[in-house]
Each structure stands twice: as structure tokens, then as C-alpha cells.
Structure 1
Amino acid sequence: MYAIWILILLLIISLLINILMIKEINSICEQVRFLINNNSQMRINTSFSIKTFMEFAEIINNFLDSYHNKEKAYINKEKYLQNTIRGLSHDIRTPLTSLDGYLQLIANNKENINNDKYFSIMRNRISSLNNILDQLFTFVKLQENEYKLEMEKIDFTSLALQTLFNYYEDFKFRNIEPIINFPNKKIFINANTDALERIFQNIYKNILEHGQNPISLSISEDEKKLIFVSKNKTKDGLTINKDDLFKEFYKASNSRNGSSTGLGLAITKALVEKLNGKITADISDNYFAIEISFNKI
């Protein structure tokens, strides 16, 4: 008889515990519904000092924290994109407005002696627009996972020097004289010619836009890798945020102009990585340096 009463008591206790557990689960469910419906950042609480319930509540809280963090990141990204589009719209609108103005001048006076000068300015504006659109098109392509580059054996040293020579007049016009330390031999890597040339172009353009003497360009190697380093003093008054150097649409302060999208270094980084290379950048004591390394073949 005594055993029966103990069994009945245990059943009652078990039933009460189950009722309390169901009640606590319902409470947690209600809290979750409230947080979701009200987009609240409150945390789930449990009155049960049982390890399983406490872990369950903590898992839900961690999930909610992750959800809110992603939501904040999305909102910030959306605001950033809106500001970027606004800035790019301004960059594109400026040369377009200029083109329209010069076209009207020419149309209104076809015999104007300044027409040749106007045509020259218009060509520069069109070139500026082409550069902006080309940068945007390249950046969009690089975001596609299926975008692949055809690789081939390339003489890195020769292509770096050849691309640099194409900017000879630009460097001369700005009184920039880079100190070149390239080895007098061929160093081959597995890469894509167009992509590698674009990398050099972006680096040299970055020097022309933001740099001043002294400037050095070097290529070195060890048994497995080659290393390309570009280092220049930054223009006076230019402020560069080291953490943002490779971010898309980033522009150093005081560097906005109609031909820049802020995509140059972001595209450079993406191309280097597509070619299985590594790239780093550093800013120290008003000197800006980029280092790129590739495996040799």
C-alpha cells in the first residue's frame, strides 16, 4: 500500500513538472512571437533553472542576435549603396552636362574659332564617361561566381614595363619620375594578360591621381614567388583610411573627380585574387604602398 502511494505521488509530481514545462515552452513561444512581430531586440527569459531550458533560451537569443546583426548590416549596406549611386550619378552627370553645354555652343555658332578647343574638351569628357562605365562593368563582372579568366604563361616583368611605358607621357606631364627596379630577365607566372594589364593600369593610374615623388616600382623573387611593390608619397592634404583601401566605391578625401569611381583598387584586388595571387596595401608616414605576389612557373 505504501508503495502505491509513493507511485501516485511520483506520477503527480511528474504531471506537475510536465504542465510547468509546457507552460514554460508556451511562454518562450509567446516571447519569440512578440519579438518577431515587434522587431524588438529584447532577449528571451526563462523562469526554469533547468540546464536544458536555459540552453534552449540561449540558443534562441543567439539566433535572434545574429538575425538583428544581419538586418543592421543589410540596412547599412542599403544606405551605403544609395549614397554610392547618388555619388556615381553625380560623377556621370557632370561630364554629360559639360558635353551638352559644349554641343550647344558649337551648334549655335558653327564658325566659332574655339570649336576645336571645344571638341578636345568633349573628347576628354567622353573618355571620362567611358572610364566610369568600364570600371562599373568590370566590377559587376567580377562579382559573378561563374566569371572565369583564361590562364596562360605570361612574362610578368615585360608586361609590367610595357604597361608602364604606355603612361610615360602622363608621368612626364605631372613631373613624376618613378624609380624602377625591375630584374633584367623574364619571370613567368600563370595568369590572364588582360587582367594582369588591368592590374598594372589601375596601380599606375592610382599613382598619377594620388601620388607624388618619390615613387618606386620594384619586382623581386624567391624560389617560388615574385613580388611586385609600388610605393609613393601621397599628395599633400590627402587623407586615406587604411581599412577602406580595397572597399568598392571608396575615395580618399579631397580626391573626388569626374573620372573616378572609387573602384580601381577594389577591381585590382578582385583580379589579383582571380589570378590566385595576394595583394596588400599600407599607408604610413604619408607613403602609400601596394604589394602583390604570385606563384612563379
Structure 2
Amino acid sequence: MTTDQERMPLNRAQRLAREAAGAAEVRAYQTHPDVAALRVEQVRSQVDLLCWAGIVLGLAFTMTNVQQFAAAGAQPWSLPWLAAWLLDPTVSLVLLAILRAEQLTARYQVRTGRWVRRAKWFTLAATYVMNTWASYAAGSLSGIVLHSVPPLVVFVAAEAITDLRDKLTATVTAAYTHAAAVNGGAVMNGPDLAGAVHERPAAPAPGGSRSAGSARGRRTLFGDYLAEARTAWTPGVAVTPAWVRQVTDCSRGLSSRIAAALTAELETLGSAGTVGEPATVPTVDERPARGLRRGGGLR
């Protein structure tokens, strides 16, 4: 049942207050670290799709010239003429396999060996030579230019897409960290992003109650969480995101980054800890679940 006060029209100030509350809630989700990272992932998918379309179309354009080069004037539909159609797909499929593998390695910033790049360059060079051989033999400059452009575009795209994926992976991390810093109440850039601010619930006050300041939570830097996890770690304990959340009470998204940083430190120091085994640490009390504040911060 609605009251008379609820049926009364809102004045301008009340409307603005309602709009401000709605805008704050929308912005809280728009500036969430996961949303920021997801937007970069969407751009990554678009870049991959466009690059793959250009590479496949370029290789399809070269197929006819490579077939003519391999057929060497053989009678159409004869066995040598039909077998000549297999040459270009043989080279192109190897190239596509290498590019597909680099798509995954670049996502996690894993460097491939020298033979991978050599194989990619060899397949691209072979495609270029077979595609332009007839034009060079005939001395046709227009034919050389025409049949050089698609292989060279494929070559440049194959090299550029690897670097683009690597930079997009770094951009996902930077976007997530920057959004986390903004949500925590601090806007930073450059090296300062490594100390992104996150909020954590304060410990309950004696007697099970929280003070007004504790209810708002206190700010904790990424380095503070990492130091806390480093202090809690003992030899033989597996460093996993679940273990990090257990000993530091950080958020789920931040725990994986802390686990990775601590694991890198342990590997550098040659520690005896192993990753992937169950962690043997005392259990802690369940902490309140985090959500987004209406003002845009994490709690």
C-alpha cells in the first residue's frame, strides 16, 4: 500500500538525488576491475578476428599463383595439375598452425623459441617467392607489385599480431589494476599502479560490534597483502589463490596476483615450497562477502 507521501511528485532536488544514486550504482559496475579487463578482452577478440580474416584472405589470393607455379604448364585436370593445388595449402596450414599457437602463447606472455620464428619466416618467404616467380621471370613490374602486396601484408600482419596480443595482455593487467586503484579511492598511474589500493573489512571490535570507522573498512595496499602472505608462508605450504585469500582475506581477483608475485619471489630465492599442493595452514573465520558500494568503491 502506497502512502500519500509516496504519491506526491518529487521536487527537483529529490529527482537529482535519485538520479545521482542511480548513476553512482551504474558507475560502480562500469569502473569495476573485471569490467575494465573484460572491455580490453573484447577489443582483443575484435583484433584477432580482423587479423585472421586479413591473413586468410591474403593466403587465399596467393593460392592460384602458387598452383600455376607448381603446375609449370601441365595439362588442366591432369594429375600434376591437380597435385599442384596441394602446394599452397601445405605451406599455408603450417603458417596458420604457428600463428594459432602464438595466439595462445602471447596471451600469457610466453616467449617461443627461435625455430618458431624461423618456420614462420620460411613459410612466408616460400609463399612470396612462389607467388611472384612468374612475374619476375616475365619482367612485369605491375605483376610483381600486384603479387607482392598480399604475401607482404600476410608477413607484416603475422609479425604484428604477435606483438599486439602481447601488448593487449599487458593492457588487460593494467586496466584491471588501474580500475582497482580508482575503486579503492586512489587514482595512480605508471609504476604506482603496482601499489593499487583495495579495501578490506576491518576486524570485529571486542564484543562482536564494529565502530563507525571500522564499518567503513580500512585501505590496504597490494604490498601490504603481499607482505602478510609472505609472513604467513612456511616451507612446504603451497602458494595458491585460495591459500592467499585464507591468510590475507583479500578479494578473489587480487589473490591470484598476490599468489603469482609470492611464487615468483619463492622461485627466485630457491625456496622449498611447491605450487599446486594443498595448503596446510590454520583455518580462519569466514569474512563478510565483498560487494560494490553505491559510491563506486570495493568493500
Q: TM-score, normalised by structure 1?
A: 0.28
Give 1 or 2: higher strand fraction: 1
Larger helix share, 1 or 2:
2
Structure of higher CA gyration radius: 1
Specify which structure has the bigger relative contact order, considering alpha-carbon pairs within 8 angstroms and separated by 6 or more residues.
2
What's the TM-score once normalised by structure 2's chain length? 0.28
